[in-house]
Amino acid sequence: MTKVAIVTASDSGIGKACALLLAQNGFDIGITWHSDERGAQETAKKAAQFGVRAETIHLDLSQLPEGAQAIEHLIQRLGRVDVLVNNAGAMTKSAFIDMPFTQWRQIFTVDVDGAFLCAQIAARHMIKQGEGGRIINITSVHEHTPLPQASAYTAAKHALGGLTKSMALELIEHHILVNAVAPGAIATPMNDMDDSDIEPGSEPSIPIARPGSTHEIASLVAWLWADCLLFPSDAADD
């Protein structure tokens, strides 16, 4: 039986790299997008070149709980779910003293509430299937280290890290492994970068002196969904 993976926000960046690596490893793929439908279609087209099925759907985690039902629709279309990569998120910068409450809530709604609902839907199906599964939450290095002028984003990523730990504790009895990946500076559209920015010495403030690539993050995520991986749960890979 072909396994199925759903990767949120896989129209670009880390999500796209994860979706394509999953497809390369034989997974049928569920692809979600928020504002870049063309990017999602491009991901689906590239995934299909590996001989797998790829389905796309619009996901708006600012409109909850209804928005998260896109995950349910993808599972119905693809028949099951074995891996969920919770990658969708939002980030805005604003000084703590000036931040409107609406902006604070917007970030928490997408980054925490949305991830919670997507994971809950996927986990319920994994339990019903009775074959275990993997849930990987993409947090951020700012789960551990605060980002100036981004108190909502920093707090939300801390919260998602805590949610990951609770999920791991409760879902392990169903053989569902839950982990977080906390990327640092990665060459993605959210960071106004792409692969052309990955040059040695381009980011001297980083020990490796360059931003990370989406493929490097996808490779780490791939290790977490591997069938041979039966032990680590509740780990945050930075």
Q: Which residues are catalytic?
A: 153
Helix (H, G, I), strand (E, B) or coil at 150: strand
Q: In sequence order, what are the beta bridge partners of 56?
A: 31
Judge contact between 209 and 184, C-beta under 8 A. no
Q: How far apart are CA 200 and CA 222, in angstroms?
A: 25
The helix or strand, by DSSP H or E, that contains position 117, with its residue range, turns out to be helix 115-129
CA 60 to chain centre: 14
What single-letter amino acid sits at 137?
Answer: N
Burial (CB count <10 Å: 0-12, 13-18, 19+), residue 22 = buried
With contact defined as beta carbons under 8 Å apart, do 152 and 108 qualify?
yes
3-class state of residue 7 by DSSP: strand
Q: Tell me the backbone φ, ψ of residue 36, rounded to 5 degrees.
A: -120, 75
DSSP 171-222: HGGGTEEEEEE---SB-SGGGT--GGG--TTS-TTSTTSSPBPHHHHHHHHH
